[in-house]
Amino acid sequence: MIKPVRGTRDLLPPDTDLWNRVEAKVRAIFARYNFHEIRTPIFEDTSLFSRSVGEETDIVSKEMFTWEDKARGQSEKAQSLSLRPEGTAGIVRAYIEHRLGDAGTLQKLYLIGPMFRRERPQKGRYRQFYQIDAEIIGPPTAGSESPARDAEVLEMLATLLDEVGLRDWKLQLNSVGCAVDRARYNKALREALQPVVHQMCADCQRRAETNPLRVLDCKVPEDQPIIDRLPKISQYLDEPCREHFAAVRAMLDEVGIPYSINERMVRGLDYYTRTTFEFTHGGLGAQSAVLGGGRYDGLSELLEGPKAPAIGFAIGEDRLILALQSQGEQARENLQAFVAPLGSGMNRHALKLARELRRAGISADLGDENFRLKKSFELAEKAGAKYIVIIGENEVAADQFAVKDLASGEQVQIPRANLAAHLRK
């Protein structure tokens, strides 16, 4: 028997009902904030990710699904391709490709789809997982650099999590500064690491040389006390970065969104500048981050595009669903009616009635004239229907139907014209 590939999984009903409910809510919220959908390919040129996410990140150095795509014929050349490990790089590539900045306005884009990382699978961590991404990107003249955008994004996320029904989320905030600050901070880290790095894990020893900031991502327990004593990024922010971060915080305070500052949160991608953030939830165990994001003011230029400061985030949809389920969120949408034909020749009448109900917006399932009434009742209950509608010869003749409320057991006769209204109650 062929098994699903390690780290992948099938999403089945009734869970998919919850996925769809969340996605429908999220799309409606995005529309209210004037975000519009973008769909990018799920595979791209490998160098898009190595240049943007960063060679030294775990994502690029260990986790990408990469293959050599052979040339077919004269007109193609061999190319290294990768399944997308995240959404932002592809969106910025599309922004550059289609000259979206030429409009002179902010682009507010969102993307929902699968991402791929060869991580060690565990609860809340998969090799194919789903992200809900959103980005605000545009030329500086459109205000893309403003702390107002950071605050708008964070306020939208707080509203989004509240409206999908997630309780007790926590927001952690940090500023990783601009490129100049980062260079100074990296230098300070390198110096501070020099006398202690030999006590640390092999990854940290390498990172201390190549990209010291990534040491802060280390999860090895023995390394944590050393990392806690390293210099803090806040000491290396220049005045404009400090002011930017203070402005973001002041706006969050104004609208009453609670947060805490976590100076170690640098996020596992190299393109971040200034604000970074994560929302966590207690119901997720070790993988507690529901979503993460931040500002990436230099990414477009890094990819040879125009200056286009930006801020964005990715919600881990798998984890959002797990967190909702940990709160007892119920998945299945209730079926309103089960239409049960009773006796031979009744299937066509039942189909006609079900058609009328479904067209009137009632969710209805349909039995079969060969089923005994007892079996129809069992099926209706299994389907979780609120009502069973019985349709036999007498009902067809009278043009009214026996409707039983499966919870209360109450049964009434309802004329065809009133049926949809009755079931909708």
Identity of the residue, 314 or 419, whose beta carbon is nearer to ligand AMP in the bound complex: 314
Identity of the residue, 181 or 217, whose beta carbon is nearer to ligand AMP in the bound complex: 217
Instruction: Give the shortest CB-167-to-ligand AMP separation in angstroms.
Output: 17
Which residue number is nearest to ligand AMP in terms of Cβ? 316
Strand pairing category for 128-137 and 260-261: unpaired
Distances (CA, A) of 411 to 339, 365, 379, 395: 14, 19, 18, 14
Indicate if the alpha-carbon torsion angle 192, 194, 197, 199 is positive or negative.
Answer: negative
- Using alpha carbons, select from 300, 310, 311 the residue that is nearest to residue 52: 300
Which residues of this protein are in contact with ligand AMP, per CB under 6 A? 86, 117, 119, 124-126, 129, 131, 267-268, 289-292, 314, 316, 318-319
Instruction: Give the shortest CB-126-to-ligand AMP separation in angstroms.
Output: 4
Instruction: Give the shortest CB-88-to-ligand AMP separation in angstroms.
Output: 8
Instruction: Give the shortest CB-62-to-ligand AMP separation in angstroms.
Output: 12
Identity of the residue, 85 or 101, whose beta carbon is nearer to ligand AMP in the bound complex: 85
- Using alpha carbons, select from 361, 333, 339 the residue that is nearest to residue 414: 339
The enclosing H or E element of 319 equals: helix 317-326
Residues in the chain: 425
Identity of the residue, 114 or 298, whose beta carbon is nearer to ligand AMP in the bound complex: 114
Identity of the residue, 114 or 143, whose beta carbon is nearer to ligand AMP in the bound complex: 114
Identity of the residue, 60 or 419, whose beta carbon is nearer to ligand AMP in the bound complex: 60
Instruction: Give the shortest CB-40-to-ligand AMP separation in angstroms.
Output: 15
Strand pairing category for 310-316 and 128-137: antiparallel
User: What are the respective helix, strand and coil percentages of the chain, to the nearest 5?
Assistant: 45, 20, 35
Instruction: Give the shortest CB-418-to-ligand AMP separation in angstroms.
Output: 48
